[in-house]
Amino acid sequence: MKIIRKCALAMALCATTALSANAGEITIATVNNGHMIEMQKLTPEFEKANPDIKVNWVTLDEGTLRSRVTTDITTKGGQFDVMTIGMYEAPIWGKNNWLVPLEFDASYDVDDILPSIRAGLSYDSKLFAAPFYGESSMIMYRKDLVDAAGLTITDNPTWDHMEKVAAALHKPDDGVFGICLRGKPGWGDNMAFITTLANSFGAQWFNEDWTPALDSPEWNAAVNFYVNLLTKYGPPGSEGNSFNEILALINEGKCGIWIDATIAASFVTDPKQSKVADKMAFAQSPQKATTKGANWLWAWSLAIPAGTKQAGDAKKFIEWATSKSYIELVAKTNGWASVPTGTRVSTYSNPKFQEAATFDEAELKAILSANPEDSTLNPSPYVGVQFAAIPEFQAIGTAVGQQMTAALSGSISVEDALAASQKAADREMRKGGYY
Amino acid sequence: MNPTLAKWLQAPSVILLLLWMIVPLSMTIYFSTIRYHLLYQDRTGFIGLSNYEFFYTDPSFWPAILNTLILVGSVLLISVVLGLAISLLINHDFFGRGIVRVLLISPFFIMPTVNALVWKNMLMNPIYGLFAFISTSFGLDPIDWLSDFPLFSIIIIVSWQWTPFAILIFMTSLQSQDREQKEAATLDGAGFWAQFFNLTIPHLARPIAIVIMIQMIFHLSIFAEIFVTTSGGPGVQSTNLAFLIFTQALQGFDVGVASAGGVFAIILANIVAIFLIRIVGKSLTV
């Protein structure tokens, strides 16, 4: 019944949007991250420059956004003229002709986009989504606490060393937890982090013949390590924490170490929102058997669904929001340390940015070291660091994410969680006709 | 007005209501027998019952059914018992009765998502929630409600929202209870419990039946509270049938399998309804 209601709702929404979609009005679906909220605040600037275009925003959390835009684009709902998607969707949807290929004029300078990000958003060398901000993952830690403990964190430390540091920083009675990591179920939530951890232990999602490899000893070692680390030295309630929840904890000074998206660096070093802005330092992701795939690669990007009637206006907006001049506009409004990063070479070579940001080198290094084509110790058949770019992955990643959260909460053992995960992945791959 | 004409005049509304039910139902049944995956538009065709098989063999199927029944049963029990107790307590005149009644009923008018968010972030959060604050002020370790007792937490949240509904119904029907009868019973030496079982309960039989019916319909498809607080986890500990269908439809994008799940949900609702009607139906035929 639920799905019918959803369909009926979609129809109702289509009807209303069809009625209200005046010329010069575009609807944008986006995710509720800091940089997007900023983009909405700056939209009047765009509307001033283009008085005939009015912009409507639909802001959702990551999981809901994914469901909504995927449902909309596959049922040709036409609710949105611009969609915020990532590196997982762009090539798959581009291949299916669900997106309008993006061609910009010379002033946009498409060659300025970081090569790995551009490649990840293209299919058949056509760009299908323009990156709004790009990210990898890295270690962010409280230098004051680590120094006080007489320890150091270098680039690509071993996981065992990280455990030692987390143990030294863990003082729950003073309200500081050793390490905060994602635990909320979802392929873009806890699985993004756990996959990079597993990669560094030498694990991978699928074997060469597309059979799931979740029953391997490497996965077992990685997940056991994760559960143990977070149970001993993490905050309570990790099962509900994803990026935004942990960001709030860090900004309150409640976490010693955080390994997550590089984009967080500009938030945790921003004195306006972080109590520990001047105490944060950065390092490249930890490793165990390999540094391959130890840090993810992702870009939240803007794309135009093929069904829209407002493609021209939508392109104008995308061009504005992902241009060099937008980055300068944010710099003028909030300072160079708060600009959306990880997209353009010119941002990193800008002396003003280099001076304002304490994290620019670590961030660029992380982004440049991630390679979606080659992110596992042993050869694998799929593209993607923290995901596999196949349509089945969303269902698999979500199911496995649920199991990992259950293992973290201690309600089932790691072995049972991985066995159930393997079973779920195997079911989906069989249904998809891979073997 | 002859009876035939009356029937004909009723026809449009009856037909409309039938369509309202039949069209979605037949669409669901149709979708559940075809290959319909949003990400694979090229795979189509009739596949018989294999969507049902796929949904039924999902390891989370039986836990979800069990969770659905536990959720419905517990919330019904808590809200009816608490609702009865509280409505009896406020069934006589005292100073400020109006305000107390409004406060007691108000949780029912809060949106389910808001209700769940308040409980999740302001009360049950193990770091800065009110419950954690209370535990730590007594020197105890805070309980991580949503991770350690996910289903129980959701039962609490839903009960808090629905007990007021029961209070509202019972309170109004208690006002129509025959006072003289109660006075006579008191004179005859009947105590509180004797009066409660022999006068109040029979008087409230029908309202109780109605509360159980209406609440059952709503609780079989609880979704918002689960979605906001636990996302069905950890694992599948708080996944009910509605949430399982959601994960298939909107996280797996398989409309076929999700529709099969929808048909299962209809069957389950009917089974529960038949049992409940048997149990409480007797009081409706007075």
The pLDDT tens digits for A349-398 are: 999 999 999 999 999 999 999 999 899 999 999 999 999 999 889 889 98
Rounded Cα distance between B72 and B273, Å, is 12
Q: How many percent of chain B have pLDDT more than 90?
A: 48
Query: Two tokens at B73?
Result: 């049963």
* Strands A25-31, A126-127: pairing kind: unpaired
Interchain contact, A2 vs B249, CB within 8 Å: yes
pLDDT per residue over A143-159, tens digit each?
Answer: 999 999 999 999 999 99
pLDDT of residue B282: 66
Interchain contact, B262 vs A70, CB within 8 Å: no
Distance (Å) from the C-alpha of residue B69 to the closest C-alpha of chain A?
18
Say yes or no: B242 contacts chain A, CB-CB below 8 A: yes
Interchain contact, B54 vs A431, CB within 8 Å: yes
Task: Identify the band that residue A1 occupies on the pLDDT scale cut at 50, 70 and 90.
Answer: very low
pLDDT per residue over A42-56, tens digit each?
Answer: 999 999 999 999 999
Mean pLDDT within A134-142: 96
pLDDT of residue A67: 86
In the predicted model, is pLDDT for residue A61 greater than 90? no
Rounded Cα distance between A304 and A302, Å, is 7
Q: Which residues in chain B touch residue A184, judged by CB atoms under 8 angstroms apart?
A: 231
Mean residue pLDDT of chain A comes to 91
Residues 6+ away with beta carbon under 8 Å from A213 = A203, A204, A205, A206, A207, A219
pLDDT per residue over A319-331, tens digit each?
Answer: 999 999 999 999 9
Interchain contact, B230 vs A240, CB within 8 Å: yes
Q: Which residues in chain B touch residue A431, judged by CB atoms under 8 angstroms apart?
A: 54
Q: Which residue in B257, A49, A235, B237 sits closest to B247, CA to CA? A: B257
Interchain contact, B232 vs A402, CB within 8 Å: yes
In the predicted model, is pLDDT for residue A251 greater than 60? yes
Name the residue facing A402 among B236, B245, B262 (closest C-beta).
B236
CA-nearest residue to B141 within chain A is A236
Q: How many percent of chain A have pLDDT more than 70?
A: 95
In the predicted model, is pLDDT for residue B252 greater than 90? no
Interchain contact, B246 vs A408, CB within 8 Å: no
Interchain contact, B235 vs A409, CB within 8 Å: yes
pLDDT per residue over A69-102, tens digit each?
Answer: 998 998 888 899 999 999 999 999 999 999 999 9
Interchain contact, B146 vs A239, CB within 8 Å: yes
CA-nearest residue to B23 within chain A is A4
Type and span of the H or E element at B144: none
Q: Which one is predicted more confidently, B231 or A161? A: A161
Q: Which residues in chain B touch residue A417, judged by CB atoms under 8 angstroms apart?
A: 235
Q: Which residues in chain B touch residue A3, judged by CB atoms under 8 angstroms apart?
A: 28, 31, 245, 249, 255, 258-259, 262
Name the residue facing A67 among B120, B233, B250 (closest C-beta).
B250
In the predicted model, is pLDDT for residue A198 greater than 80? yes
Distance (Å) from the C-alpha of residue A40 to the closest C-alpha of chain B?
24
Q: How many percent of chain A have pLDDT more than 90?
A: 82
Contact criterion met (CB below 8 Å) for B236 and B58? no
Name the residue facing A236 among B127, B235, B255 (closest C-beta).
B127
pLDDT per residue over B133-181, tens digit each?
Answer: 999 899 888 888 988 899 999 999 999 999 999 999 999 999 888 888 8
Mean pLDDT within B50-71: 91
Task: Identify the band that residue A312 occupies on the pLDDT scale cut at 50, 70 and 90.
Answer: very high
Interchain contact, B247 vs A2, CB within 8 Å: no
Q: Quick one: DSSP state of residue B120?
A: I
Say yes or no: B230 contacts chain A, CB-CB below 8 A: yes
Q: Which residues in chain A touch residue B58, judged by CB atoms under 8 angstroms apart?
A: 427
Residue B207 CB coordination number (10 Å)? 21
Task: Identify the band that residue B205 occupies on the pLDDT scale cut at 50, 70 and 90.
Answer: confident
pLDDT per residue over A413-426, tens digit each?
Answer: 999 999 999 999 99
Chain centre to alpha carbon of residue A380: 22
- Tell me how many residue pairs between chain A and chain B have CB atoms under 8 A apart: 131
The conformational region for residue A186 under phi > 0 = left, psi -120 to 50 = alpha, else beta, is: left
Q: Which residues in chain B touch residue A74, judged by CB atoms under 8 angstroms apart?
A: 38-39, 41, 253
Interchain contact, B39 vs A391, CB within 8 Å: yes
Buried b (16+ CB within 10 A) or exposed e, A153-179: bebebebeebbebbebbbeeeeebbbb
Rounded Cα distance between B216 and B225, Å, is 16
Task: Identify the band that residue B235 occupies on the pLDDT scale cut at 50, 70 and 90.
Answer: confident
In the predicted model, is pLDDT for residue A8 greater than 60? no
pLDDT of residue B281: 66
Say yes or no: B40 contacts chain A, CB-CB below 8 A: yes
pLDDT per residue over A283-304, tens digit each?
Answer: 999 999 999 999 999 999 999 9
* Strands A82-85, A25-31: pairing kind: parallel
Mean pLDDT within A186-190: 90
Distance (Å) from the C-alpha of residue A164 to the closest C-alpha of chain B?
24
Distance (Å) from the C-alpha of residue B166 to the closest C-alpha of chain A?
26
In the predicted model, is pLDDT for residue A22 greater than 60? no
Which B residues, 133 through 192, put their C-beta within 8 Å of a C-beta on chain A?
A: 142, 144, 146-148
